[in-house]
Amino acid sequence: MNKLLCGVAFAAILTTGVRADDVEVLHWWTSGGEAAAVQVLKGDLESKSVGWVDMAVAGGGGEAAMTTLRARVTAGDPPTAAQMLGMDVRQWAEEGLLGNLDAVATAEGWDAVVPPAVQAFGKYDGHWVAAPVNMHRPHWVWANAKLFADNGLSMPSNWDEFFAAADKLKEAGVIPVAMGGQPWQEATAWEAVILSISPELYQKAIIEADAEALASPEIAQSFDIMRKLRGYVDDNFAGRDWNLATQMVIKGEAGMQIMGDWAKGEISAAGLTPGVDILCDVVPGTQGSFLFNTDFFAMFDVGDDKTAAQQSLASSVMSPVFQETFNLTKGSIPARTDVPGDKFDACAQKSMADLAEATDAGHLYGSLAHGHGQPAAIQRAYLDVVTQHFNSDMSSADAQAALIDAVAAAKM
């Protein structure tokens, strides 16, 4: 028997003792702050006489957790609940494996407090199948406040200002842009560039993967901007983890970073204040729009005897108290729009205000780079071309042609 099957068999042995009033939860929240927030959720469940059987699988992006989940389900032994991103929720729901949360969602009025764009992932065929925990916003620019003050800079509102600031930082002997050479990080920058050109382009070229939009001059323009951005990144960026790039900004080794609001965890851990010591604003040109990625707890259809415990877990996840506690730690904002923002930092408060504006304008979109724009196969097609272009001398025209072909092939 191979190692994977041995692991699945062992996991099945372990879970046979899970009681009807327990929830076995697969998740990847294993870092200090995240693990502490999980304890809050566990404690809330225990107050309802629901036990928590922890199945933590380390790995910040959740890939290892999803591999473990697939093995468990294949073995006929799914957990009670699993943390997953939006497209994963949709995939498991399409396979008919998720339970129904309508009873608790209706009783607690989820429809009134969760943005419709998030509901689109938490629901399948009109029924709630997963409880949303948070909303991350990936298209932030983080900047070292002291470096900006010393060089007479302010946060850029358009790409001309961004590159002018980068030039000044370069002249001062500072790396203008801290970046990690990993496909998802490069795609995080590229999708922000697409959004900066126009929200309509993001909708057509990313969310709809529309061939005509992908062939438009604006896509070539996006690769032009990425090529220029590459000129301000240091030569040692290949393979660098995102948090190490954030540390470069914190230490004043680099001036700016394009990264999601999870960077605030690094900032706070360094004893600095987001929005004060490390400045924050959205990527130039994306004002008024909002990309998001959301963590969900999806409930598997594991039998009627587990329904009450699953409903309790979903209720705890959606409680305003937990959403506030968890998101204060995580750097994200609550998935519920009725949670007060007074305890959150200035950057999160800006996100909350921007979320309301973007929702009203219809400019709230799932993030391609973070599992909410396209299914995995099509997402990989985008990421492969973006990273190939960023790490070579490929022309913008060639990158656009490659993107058109790759997306078309992935959709077949």
For every residue of 10-26, DSSP letters joined together read HHHHHHTT--TTEEEEE
| pLDDT score at 60 | 64
pTM over 0.85: yes
140-291+363-411 placed in CATH 3.40.50.2000: no
CB-count exposure of residue 52 (10 Å: 0-12, 13-18, 19+): buried
Residue 363 pLDDT: 97
Contacts of 111 (CB under 8 A, 6+ apart): 105, 119
Residue 334, helix vs strand vs coil: strand
d(CA 369, CA 351): 19
Cα 130 from chain centroid? Answer: 16
DSSP-assigned beta bridge partners for residue 5 = none
CA dihedral 269, 270, 273, 274 (to 10 degrees): -70
Residue 84: what pLDDT? 95
Partners of residue 177 on adjacent β-strands: 233, 256
Do the Cβ atoms of 72 and 4 come closer than 8 Å?
no
pLDDT in the model for residue 33: 74
Spelled out in words, what is the top-level CATH class assigned to the domain 3-136+292-347?
alpha beta
Q: What is the CA radius of gyration of the chain?
A: 22
Domain ranges of the chain: 3-136+292-347, 140-291+363-411
In the chain, count of helices (H) and strands (E)?
Answer: 20, 15
pLDDT tens-digit profile, the chain (412 residues): 343 334 433 343 344 445 668 999 999 988 777 888 888 899 889 999 999 999 999 876 788 999 999 999 999 999 999 999 999 999 999 999 999 999 999 999 999 999 999 999 999 999 999 999 999 999 999 999 999 999 999 999 999 999 999 999 999 999 999 999 999 999 999 999 999 999 999 999 999 999 999 999 999 999 999 999 999 999 999 999 999 999 999 999 999 999 999 999 899 989 999 999 999 999 999 999 999 999 999 999 988 888 999 999 999 999 999 999 989 988 999 999 999 999 999 999 999 999 999 999 999 999 999 999 999 999 999 999 999 999 999 999 999 999 999 999 999 9
- Is-same-fold flag (3-136+292-347; 140-291+363-411)? yes
For residue 231, what are the CA distances in angstroms to 141, 179, 188, 253, 365?
17, 12, 17, 16, 29
